[in-house]
């Protein structure tokens, strides 16, 4: 059975997860983390992707990015993956697969979900019990987004920029967001959309994406599929807007 085509649109933010093969470690030293971030910066520029948030965990990576072209994220992850695997195999005298097949992703409605997804990403080390606060973790974008630490990898998304007129205002507003719990169910929504390669947003956004793609951007109904085409009209969402 052929794999579902990845959902990606030019100029629309994308949450990306790439895991180590069999959930095994893919970073083994501080130098590995530095190598990955250095080449993430280079490959993102080459592929035309703006990085807004990230976290490098021991056995997986989260990125929040906006591709200039629809296939930008795919080109970024392919190039970066190849360079990093070559680094690891050469340094640790190993061979074979490091990553778990294809990366997983979901497109995100920026005005309602982008900051929530950024929080979800940067809180990963806290949820994993590695630190008590995201500022304590070195390999994420939190210190740059919330505290103004220099990070040449990041490009601020307009939703983040709108948090304040000055950098200090934006950072303070961003820190305030982290004083609140993630909205109930948001973690599950993000995981479900990312693992299934669907869109994450309100009903209007989902309808627009479905119309643009000419195929569904949300999970289908369970059970035996009906004999019809995969194209879904935005009219299917009209009843849910009220």
CATH number at residue 154: 3.30.70.1290
pLDDT per residue as tens digits for the range 13-40: 999 999 999 889 999 999 999 999 999 9
Cβ(205)–Cβ(198) below 8 Å: no
188, with CB counted inside 10 A (0-12, 13-18, 19+), is exposed
Identify the pLDDT of residue 1: 43
Judge if 142 and 57 occupy the same domain. yes
Identify the pLDDT of residue 225: 40
Judge if 130 and 213 occupy the same domain. no
Judge if 24 and 127 occupy the same domain. yes
Encoding tokens for residue 95? 């061979």
* Global model pTM greater than 0.85: yes
Identify the pLDDT of residue 129: 96
Judge if 158 and 233 occupy the same domain. no
Count CB-CB contacts under 10 A for residue 101: 10
Residue range(s) defining the domain that contains residue 191:
14-201
Identify the pLDDT of residue 23: 87
Domain tally for the chain? Answer: 2
* 19: enclosing H helix or E strand: strand 14-19
Report, as ranges of residue numbers, the positions in the chain whose pLDDT lies below 50.
Answer: 1, 222-242
């Amino acid at each position: 059975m052929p794999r579902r085509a990845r959902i990606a649109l030019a100029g629309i933010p994308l949450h990306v997860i790439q895991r180590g093969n069999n959930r095994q470690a893919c970073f083994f030293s501080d130098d590995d983390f530095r190598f990955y971030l250095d080449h993430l910066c280079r490959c993102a520029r080459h592929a035309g992707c703006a990085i807004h948030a990230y976290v490098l965990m021991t056995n997986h990576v989260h990125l929040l990015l906006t591709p200039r072209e629809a296939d930008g994220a795919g080109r970024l992850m392919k190039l970066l993956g190849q360079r990093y695997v070559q680094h690891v195999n050469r340094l640790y005298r190993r061979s074979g697969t490091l990553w778990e097949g294809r990366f997983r992703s979901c497109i995100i409605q920026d005005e309602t979900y982008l900051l929530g997804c950024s929080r979800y990403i940067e809180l990963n080390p806290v949820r994993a019990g590695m630190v008590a606060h995201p500022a304590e973790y070195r390999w994420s974008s939190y210190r740059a987004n919330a505290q103004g630490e220099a990070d040449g990898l990041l490009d601020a998304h307009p939703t983040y920029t709108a948090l304040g007129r000055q950098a200090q205002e934006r950072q303070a507003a961003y820190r305030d967001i982290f004083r609140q719990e993630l909205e109930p169910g948001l973690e599950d929504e993000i995981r479900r959309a990312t693992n299934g390669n669907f869109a994450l947003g309100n009903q209007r956004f989902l309808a627009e994406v479905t119309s643009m793609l000419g195929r569904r951007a949300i999970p289908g109904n369970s059970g035996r599929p009906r004999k019809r085409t995969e194209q879904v009209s935005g009219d299917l969402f009209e009843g849910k807007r009220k």
